[in-house]
Structure 1
Amino acid sequence: MDRALPSGLVDWSLLVGVALLVGTGLASLVARPGDAWLFVVHGGAGVALVGFLGVKLWRVRARVRAGVRARSGTVALSVLLTLLAVAALASGVAWVFGATIPGPWTLLVAHAAVGVVTAVVLVVHLRDRFAPPSRADLTERRGALAWAGMVTVGAAAYRVTDALGTERRYTGSREQGSGEGNRFPVTAWVADDPDPVGADDWTLAVTGLVDEATEYGYGDLPADTAERALLDCTSGWYSDHEWTGVRVGDLLDAAGTGEDAGWVQFRSVTGYRWSLPVEEARDALLATAVDGERLSHGHGFPLRLVAPGRRGFQWVKWVREVRVTRRRDRSEWVAINVSGLGD
C-alpha cells in the first residue's frame, strides 16, 4: 500500500482530509437533527487520515531524524504539525471510547481546539511547499486503487470504533442530568457569564417590526406552557428536560407582527444574541423553570430560550429582549464570541 501511493497523492489526501475535518467540525456546531451525515463524514475522514499520516511519517522518517540533528526550523515545524495532528486524531478517538480529562473542559472541546490549531499550522507549513498534484498522481491506476482502499478501510474502521465506543448521540454528546432540574452542566460560550440578574430589576421587551412594542416584568409573563426538549451542548453533553415558560408565538401575537417579519432575535443582558426564522421562533419557548424548578442563574434566570433541534449555544440565556427583524443580523456571529469579555 505504501509503495503504491504516490507521494503527491498522500500529501493532497492529508490536506483535503484536514480541510474536510475542519469544515465538518465547524458545520457541526450549528447542525440540525437531519445533519447526522456531517458527523459520519467527520469521523470517517478522521480515521482515514490516520492511515495517510502513517504513510507520510514512514516515508519522511530519515529526513526528520536528519533535520532534528541539524536543528532545522523547517523540520521543527513539520514535527510540530505532526504532533498536533496526532493529538487531534487521538483525542477524537479517545472521546469515542469514553476518555475524559481533568479541568472545566471536556475532551471533545480539547479535540476541537487542537484541530483548529493544527489547521492553522498546516497553512503556515504549506506556505512554501504548496504544489498541485501531478496528472500522474491522479490518473495512475495502481495509486488510485490504493487510495480508494485506504479511504474504504478508514471508513470501515470508523464504523467499528463507533460501534465499540461509549453510548452517545449522533453529535458525540453523552447524557448528563436529564430530568433532574437545574442539576445538569452549566457551561458558557467563550466568556458569557454575567452577575446574577434580579427579577425585580429585569424586564422583557418585545420590539422591532411589531405593531406595538411591549414590555413585561417577571411577574407579568404568562409562563404556563410546558414542553419537553433536549439540550445538546457543543462541549459534549446532552440533557433532556421539561421546560416551563411562555411560547414565543404568544408574545408575537400579543405585539402583532407584519408580513415583513422574517427573523426573531433573542438578546441577552450580556449582548449575546441569536436569531431564528420567524416560523421556527413562534414554536420556541422562553423558559422560567426546568423540571418544575425555577431556573438557576447559571441556566439563564430569569428567562432562557428553549429552541428544540438547535445546539446549546443557540439557547440564549438571560434573555431581556425579543426583537423582530426583516433580515438576520449577521453581527450576532461576532457578538456571541465577544460578549462577556469586557466584564
Structure 2
Amino acid sequence: MDWRRYTPSPRAVDWGLFVAVATLLATGIGTIFVGTVAAAWVIDLHAVSGIVLVCLLPVKLWRVRHRVAPGRLTGARVLSVALAVDATGALVTGVWWLFGGSLDLGPWGLFHLHTALGLLVAPLLLAHLRYRVHSPATAMRHGRRDAIRYAGLVATGAVVWRLQGPVNDALDTAGADRRFTGSREEGSDAGNRFPVTSWVADDPDPVDPADWTLTVGGRVANGTAYDLADLPTGASGRALLDCTSGWYSEHDWQGVRVGDLLDAADPDDAAAWVQFRSVTGYRWSLPIEAARDALLATRVDGDVLSHGHGYPLRLVAPGRRGFQWVKWVESVRVTERREVGEWLAIFLSGV
C-alpha cells in the first residue's frame, strides 16, 4: 500500500504543520486564562491540534530524512532538527501528562517542562521560516484532495482526544483524575496543605500584621484603611483554585466579601474595574461586578492562611485561574479603566 495516497502533498504538510503549531501556541497561551467550562473549547482545540501535529510530524520527518544526513547538515538544517526535537519533546511531555506521568525537576515538574518546550517552539519556528518559508499558493495545487485529507486528520484528532478519557479511566491512571483544564487534584479540604506556588518571582518576606493595612481607594467617595483587626470578616464561600502549574484544590474560604468593602467605599458612576495589589507590586483587576462576588480570604478550611498562601489576605476569584488570585493583598483600588501596566507587573513583580 502506498501511504502517500493518504497524506497531504509536501507543501500542504508544511503549511499544515505551521497552522497546527500556531494553533497550539495560541491555545496554549489561552489555556492560562480558561477557568470555566464554557471556555473549555480552547483546551479541546489545543489537544486536537496536538494530535494533528502528531500525525503530520512523522510524515514531514520521513520526507526530509535524507537532508539531515551527517554529511549534508548545514546551519539551517541543524536549526530545523532542533525545531523537530523540541516540537517532539513538547508533544511527548503533553501526552505523558495526559496519561498520568510525572517528573521531579526540583521546583518544577512535567507540566512546566511541557510548557517550556512549547514556548521554545515559537522562536525556533520563526528562525526556521527565514530559510524554509513557501508561498501558500504552492500548497493549493491539490487543494480538494488535501482539504479532504485534512478534514480526516482533524476528525481523527477529535475522536482520539475523546477516547483518551475512557482509556485513562480503564487503566486507572493518574490522568483520569483531571479537570477539563488538565489540572490534577491536590490537597483539597486540607487547610494550608495544598501546593504553594507563586507566579514568576513573587517571594516576599512574611508580612508583619502590626505594620500591614488594607487600603480601599480610587474612584470612591469614602476611601478607607483597615487594620487586620478592623476587617469586616465573616463572609465565606467554597471555591476551586486551578493553578496553571497543573494542579487544582477546592476549599472553604473565610474572610471579607469584596462587595461589602465596595458598598462601604461607595464607588462613583465611572467605576468599572477593581484592582487588587500585592505587597510585591503584583496586581490584577476584575470587572467591578465580578469583583463584588470575590472574597478576600483570611482563612482556608478554618485555618489562618499561611504566609505561602498569602497571609494576611489573598484574593479568591471563583472561575479564574490561580495566577489571578493575588496573594498578600494590601490595596483595593477602584478605577474607570484597567491599568495596562499590570500585564507587565505580573512578570516583573518580586524581581
- Shared fold by TM > 0.5? yes
Change (3 A) 1:331 1:98: same
Q: Name the structure 2 match of 1:44.
A: 48
Q: Partner of 1:340: helix, strand, or coil? A: coil
The residue correspondences of 1:1-343 to structure 2 (distance < 5 A) are 1-3=3-5, 4-33=7-36, 34-65=38-69, 68-102=70-104, 103-134=106-137, 137=140, 139-165=142-168, 166=175, 167-341=177-351
Cα pair 1:48 1:155 within 8 Å, conserved: no
**What is the percentage of aligned positions where both structures have the same residue?**
56
CA-CA distance at 1:127 after TM superposition: 1.3
Cα pair 1:9 1:138 within 8 Å, conserved: no
Q: Which runs of 5+ in 1 are unaligned?
A: none
Partner Cα distance (1:70, 1:60) in 2:
12
CA shift digits 1:223-282 (9 cap, x unpaired) = 111100000000100000000000001011111111100000000000000000000001
Partner Cα distance (1:183, 1:260) in 2:
41
Q: CA RMSD in A?
A: 1.3
CA shift digits 1:82-129 (9 cap, x unpaired) = 100100001100000011111222312211111010121001100132
Cα pair 1:266 1:319 within 8 Å, conserved: yes
Partner Cα distance (2:337, 2:59) in 1:
49
Letter of the structure 1 residue corresponding to residue 166 of structure 2: A
TM-score w.r.t. length of structure 2:
0.94
CA-CA distance at 1:222 after TM superposition: 1.3
Cα pair 1:106 1:236 within 8 Å, conserved: no
Change (3 A) 1:162 1:120: farther
Q: Partner of 1:128: helix, strand, or coil? A: helix
Q: Which runs of 5+ in 2 are unaligned?
A: 169-174
CA-CA distance at 1:139 after TM superposition: 4.8
TM-score w.r.t. length of structure 1:
0.96
Change (3 A) 1:136 1:269: closer
